[in-house]
């Protein structure tokens, strides 16, 4: 046993220090990024925010709205091939730059992934997603997918440490997804004791990835637009959102009414709810590592997105970044023992 004494930080432990700026208005701030990738030769331009591949977030309805704004949706892996066909028939091809096909690492997953990608060659992003990205099986799977799809943009995760980011990039990933335990409906830290405060995970993993010419996604733990700004400030190339995009019209599922207020269901992808829905229950050897909650119904996701992007533009003006690209360079974090004033919450 060994103890690492360095204190690791989360979003709640820091704020971004304002800096002198020549920007007159947040309208001057560009949130688009242009990316090239480590393995894939595609060039991508867009707003580097990704809707998480969860049942109630990464839906086709979400992708229709977000892709029009150049924001990515990682489509959850539970749609059938027929549903994919219908979706693809109704999407402008240019919008497919903002759609990622998610997959697990099972044999069936791998066949399904191939079949979906065959439907339209304009699908560029593959998101290979497992709760624990530290297994040898996962690394081999990433290698195989890279062999089969030499030019797709491959996302792989989740991990939280630099050495594993490097291993996944070397094994064929273009982008490594970072986050273990910070998610709003995640109970991994409670069930297993395993995790890593997200801000430090981003700083360390971005450093490892950028050294090799790869990128990272900060996945999980953002509860406000300010957290998203902190994730980009810490060096994330993309930020993935679950809870912040749940509860909308595009999230699927029914609206539940209680005492005159409206709610929608939201649940972790390893919650008992998700396992019952997709694999007929929680297997005997495992515990559920996700919560099921009801979140307030929030209408159209477009309004929430506007709020998020407005917040990010404002962060950029506070530190004098005319483009999102400059945010990391212009960020100085201060460690704090307080966040917002909650007197009226
Ligand atoms: P959020 O933005 O809601 O804080 O976090 C979203 C992320 O939580 C997802 O992208 C995924 O990585 C993670 N997640 C989703 N469902 C579960 C779950 O059931 N268990 C765990 N441990 N993590 C989950």
Q: Is 316 a catalytic residue?
A: no
pLDDT digits (tens, 9 = 90+) for 116-143: 999 999 999 999 999 999 999 999 999 9
Residue 26 has pLDDT above 90, yes or no: no
Q: Are strands 125-129 and 153-159 parallel, antiparallel or unpaired?
A: parallel
What's the 45 CA to ligand 1 centre distance in angstroms? 26
Query: Which residues make Cβ contacts (< 8 Å) with residue 273, sequence separation at least 6?
Result: 265, 267, 290, 292
Structure tokens at 344: 């009226």
pLDDT at 9 over 90: yes
Q: Whole-angstrom Cα distance, residue 41 to residue 335? A: 39
Residue 85 has pLDDT above 90, yes or no: yes
- Which pTM value belongs to this model? 0.98
pLDDT of res. 345: 83
d(Cα 63, Cα 69) in Å, to the nearest integer?
A: 10
Q: Given ligand 1 and candidates 202, 242, 273, 279, which is best to mutate, with the most ligand atoms within 8 Å of its CB?
A: 242
pLDDT confidence of residue 253: 84
pLDDT, tens digit, 9 for 90 and up, residues 237-296: 999 999 999 999 999 888 999 999 999 999 999 999 999 999 888 777 777 789 999 999
């Amino acid at each position: 046993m060994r103890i690492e004494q360095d204190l690791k930080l989360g979003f709640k432990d820091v704020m971004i220090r304002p800096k002198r700026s020549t920007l007159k208005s947040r309208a001057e701030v560009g949130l688009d990024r242009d990316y090239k990738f480590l393995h894939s030769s595609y060039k991508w331009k867009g707003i580097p925010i990704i809707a998480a591949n969860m049942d109630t977030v990464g839906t086709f309805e979400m992708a229709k709205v977000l892709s029009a704004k150049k924001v990515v949706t990682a489509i959850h892996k539970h749609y059938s091939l027929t549903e994919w066909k219908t979706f693809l028939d109704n999407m402008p091809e240019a919008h497919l730059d903002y759609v990622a096909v998610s997959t697990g690492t099972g044999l069936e997953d791998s066949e399904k992934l191939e079949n979906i990608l065959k439907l339209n060659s304009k699908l560029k992003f593959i998101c290979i997603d497992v709760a624990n990205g530290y297994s040898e099986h996962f690394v081999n799977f990433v290698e195989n997918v890279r062999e089969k799809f030499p030019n797709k943009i491959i996302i792989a995760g989740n991990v939280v440490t630099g050495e594993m980011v490097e291993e996944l990039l070397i094994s064929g990933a273009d982008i490594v997804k970072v986050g273990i335990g910070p998610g709003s409906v995640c109970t991994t830290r409670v069930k297993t004791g395993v995790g890593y405060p997200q801000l430090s995970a981003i700083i360390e993993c971005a450093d490892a990835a950028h050294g090799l010419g790869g990128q990272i996604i900060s996945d999980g733990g953002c509860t406000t637009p300010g957290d998203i700004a902190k994730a980009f400030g810490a060096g994330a190339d993309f930020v993935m959102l679950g809870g912040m995009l749940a509860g909308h019209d595009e999230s699927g599922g029914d609206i539940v009414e209680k005492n005159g207020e409206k709610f929608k269901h939201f649940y972790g992808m390893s919650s008992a709810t998700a396992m019952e829905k997709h694999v007929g229950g929680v297997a005997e050897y495992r515990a559920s590592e996700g919560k099921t909650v009801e979140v307030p119904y929030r209408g159209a996701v477009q309004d929430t997105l506007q709020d998020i992007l407005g917040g990010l533009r404002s962060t950029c003006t506070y530190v004098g970044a005319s483009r999102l690209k400059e945010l990391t360079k212009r960020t100085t974090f201060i460690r704090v023992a307080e966040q917002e004033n909650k007197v009226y919450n």
